[in-house]
Structure 1
Amino acid sequence: MKPIFKYLFILVAVFLLFGIYVFFPISAQGKPLERLADTTRISQDLQVITQTAVSRNYKNPTVLDSVAAYINRELKKQTNSVNEQKFKVENQEYKNVIASFGPEDGERIIVGAHYDVCEEQQGADDNASGTVGLLELARLLKNANLKYRVDLVAYTLEEPPFFRTDYMGSAVHAKSLYDHKIPVKGMICLETIGYFSEKENSQSYPLSFLKWIYGDKGNYITLVQKFNNGAFPSDFKKSLFDSNSILTKSFKSPSFLTGVDFSDHLNYWKYGYSAVMVTNTAFYRNKNYHTGNDTLETIDVPQMALVIDGVFRAILALE
C-alpha cells in the first residue's frame, strides 16, 4: 500500500471507529451472573492437552490422534452424536472431531477451535484454551433447551504450514457444509481465550490509535467481526454483551487488517457464512504466542471460565 493511501485509510478508519464508538456500543462491563463453567475440569482438560510427550503439530500425527481421541471421549460423555471428519494430506490422515447438540434439523450454529500447535510448544493459550472451551461448552449444552442445532468442532491443521490452505481442518469442514447446502446461522471461533493481564500497556493493537478507544490493559475478551457479514455477528454481539460476566469488547473492521482473519473463521467467510472470533487478541496481548513460553502456568482459568459462560449464555439467547 502506498504511503498516501495508507494515511488516508487510517484517517477513514479513525472516523469510522469514532462513529461506531459513538452510535454503537463497543464495550460491555461484566455482570454478576452465576458461574457455570467448572474451573477444576477446565484445568484438568488443559493439563491433558498441553502435557503431551511431544508437541501436537502436523509432524507428530500420532500425538494429534491421541489428543483427538481424548476430545472424542470427553464429548461422548455429553452427547451420542460425535463423529470424526477424516481427511488426508500428503498420504497422512488427520481428523476433525464434531459433536452435535439440539434439534437435528434446521439452522446450525458452529462453534470451533483448533487443537494443533505451531512447531514445538505446549500451546496453552494457542489454542488449548479454545479447545477446552469446546469441551466445557459440551458439558453446559448437554441439558440445555436449544433453539438451534449446535455443532462443536475441534479442528486440526490450523497452524503453519497449512494456514490459509485448503488443508486446514476448518477449510475441510466449511467446504463440506457448503457442498451439502447445510443452513448455517453463524460460526463462532474460539481462539486464544485464556490469557489476561491487568498491567498497563499489556494490550497492543494493529493500529496504535485504537488504544485510545479500547484501552491499554489486556483484561477483556474481544468479539472480532468484519464488515458485510450478515446479521449473525450483530445478533451474537448483543447476546454476548447481555450475557457476559467478563469485560467484553467488540472490534469490527475490514478483513485485511492484520489479525482480523487469523484463525479458523476465515474459512467460513470464504464460503459466505457469517462468522465471528472470540479472542483475547492473541499476539497483540500475549507475548508468549508461538513460543515455548505459552505454557499452562500462564492461563487465567477463572477468567477463561467466564468467557465460556458468556458464549454459552449468548448461544441460548440468540433469536
Structure 2
Amino acid sequence: MKRTLSALLLLFAVRGMNPAAAQSLTADTVRLRQHLELLTSTPQPRNYQHPAVLDSMAAYIARQLRGAGAHEIGEQPYTVRGQSYRNVLGSFGPADGPRLVVGAHYDVCGDQPGADDNGTGVAALLELARLLGQQPTLPYRVDLVAYTLEEPPFFRTNNMGSYVHAAALHAARVPVRGMVALEMLGYYDDRRGTQHYPIAPLKYIYGSRGNYVTVAQKFGNGRFGRQFARYYRRAAALPVKRFKAPAWLPGIDFSDHLNYWKFSYPAVLLTDTAFYRNRSYHETSDTLNRLDMRRLGLAVDALLAVVTAH
C-alpha cells in the first residue's frame, strides 16, 4: 500500500499537480446526466427529418464548448437534399502542430430517444471538453467534433458529418495524430450471457459479461491505436478490452471512425460494444434510465488521462 501511494505521489509530482487537484479533475456524473436529459427530451427525435431539432442540439453543443473554454468554436455546415446540416467543432491546446480528433455523432436513427446511441457519446464529449478546459497546458491540439448525419439513411455515404470533416482535414493537409470515435458508452450488465459477438467463439476470449469498454480498431491501423488502447487500459478504473480485427468484420467500422480510415488517418472506436450488448439499440427503449452514469464517468476519466498525458 505504501509503495502504491509513493508511486502516485511521484506521478503527481512529475505532472506538476498535487493529489487533491488531480482527484478533482474527474467526470461529473450529474453533468453527464443533465446532458443526456436534454438530448433525450427534444420535442421531436434528433434525426435528419427534424433539422430544427438538430440545429438546436448543435447550438447547445456550441454553447457547452464555449463555456468549457475552447479557444476555437466553429461550425461546418453542408447541404444534403436541399437541407442544411452542421458539424460543431471546438479546439483545445496549441493552435499549431498535429492534432488529435475526438468525435461523437449527435443524431439518432428513426423515432427514438437515443440515450446510449449516441447521447452518451455526446455527453462524454462535452464532459471531456469541460475537463480539458481546466488543464493548464496540453501537449498537442485536441479537436472535439460533434457530427451530424451518422445514422441511416446516410451511414456509409459521403453525407456523413464525419466524412465531411475528415475530407476537409485531408484537403487542407492537416497533420492528424489520430482519431477517437465515442459511440455508445453508457450501457453495462454484469450478468453472464449479456455480451455478444459477431463470431460466437470470441466469448471465450473476451467473456460473456457486458461489463467493459472496448477499444476497437482494424488491422494495419498503425501505432496510434496500439498506444491508445494500452494507455487507456492502464488509466481506466473499469475493465477495458482491446479488439483488433479485419475491417470486414461486422461492427468494427460501425461509427464515424470509418471515414478517417478512408483518408488513411489512424482511428479507433471507444464503445460499450453497441448492439452486441445493448438490445435497445435503435429502439424506443434506448432510454436514460437504463444507463450507468458511474461507469460512463469512469470511461471519460480514462479518456482524459490518455489525452492529457501523450
Same fold per superposition (TM over 0.5): yes
Query: How much does 1:235 deviate?
Result: 1.2
Quick one: distance in 2 between partners of 1:141 and 1:317?
Answer: 12
Query: How much does 1:133 deviate?
Result: 0.6
Q: Does 1:272 align with 2:230?
A: no
Matched with 1:296 is 288
Query: How much does 1:229 deviate?
Result: 1.1
Question: Which one-letter code corresponds to 1:204 in the other structure?
Answer: H
Query: How much does 1:172 deviate?
Result: 0.1
Question: Which one-letter code corresponds to 2:139 in the other structure?
Answer: K
Unpaired segments ≥5 residues, structure 1: 1-32
Query: How much does 1:73 deviate?
Result: 0.6
- Of residues 122, 135, 141, the one that matches 2:113 is 122
**Alignment deviations for residues 247-272 of structure 1 (CA, whole Å, 9 cap, x no partner):** 11100000100000000000000000
Q: Does 1:176 align with 2:171?
A: no
Q: Does 1:57 align with 2:41?
A: no
- Of residues 263, 268, 273, the one that matches 1:281 is 273
Q: Does 1:80 align with 2:66?
A: no
Deviating 4+ runs (over 6 angstroms): none
Contact 1:222 1:280 in 2 (8 A): yes
Q: Does 1:139 align with 2:130?
A: yes
Unpaired segments ≥5 residues, structure 2: 1-21
Matched with 1:89 is 80
**Alignment deviations for residues 141-173 of structure 1 (CA, whole Å, 9 cap, x no partner):** 012221110000000000000000000000000
Q: Does 1:191 align with 2:173?
A: no
Query: How much does 1:63 deviate?
Result: 0.4
1:1-319 correspondence runs (5 A):
34=23, 36-78=26-68, 79-144=70-135, 145-318=137-310
Quick one: distance in 1 between partners of 2:205 and 2:238?
Answer: 18
Contact 2:87 2:148 in 1 (8 A): yes
Q: Report the secondary structure of 2:38's partner residue.
A: helix
Quick one: distance in 1 between partners of 2:280 and 2:149?
Answer: 20
Question: Which one-letter code corresponds to 1:189 in the other structure?
Answer: A
Query: How much does 1:316 deviate?
Result: 1.6
Quick one: distance in 1 between partners of 2:139 and 2:280?
Answer: 39
Quick one: distance in 2 between partners of 1:115 and 1:101?
Answer: 20
TM-score, L = length of structure 2: 0.91
Matched with 1:16 is none
Q: Report the secondary structure of 2:200's partner residue.
A: coil
Quick one: distance in 2 between partners of 1:43 and 1:254?
Answer: 35
Contact 1:239 1:315 in 2 (8 A): no
Contact 2:71 2:92 in 1 (8 A): no
Quick one: distance in 1 between partners of 2:205 and 2:309?
Answer: 28
Contact 1:155 1:170 in 2 (8 A): yes
Quick one: distance in 1 between partners of 2:205 and 2:223?
Answer: 24
Q: Report the secondary structure of 2:234's partner residue.
A: helix
Q: Tell me the percent identity.
A: 51
**Alignment deviations for residues 88-112 of structure 1 (CA, whole Å, 9 cap, x no partner):** 0011000000000000000100000
128-137 or 238-247: bigger deviation: 238-247
Query: How much does 1:51 deviate?
Result: 0.6
Q: Report the secondary structure of 2:138's partner residue.
A: coil
Q: Report the secondary structure of 1:109's partner residue.
A: strand
**Alignment deviations for residues 190-227 of structure 1 (CA, whole Å, 9 cap, x no partner):** 00001000111000000100000100000000000111
Q: Report the secondary structure of 1:209's partner residue.
A: helix
Question: Which one-letter code corresponds to 1:61 in the other structure?
Answer: P
| RMSD across aligned positions (CA) | 1.0
Q: Report the secondary structure of 1:181's partner residue.
A: coil
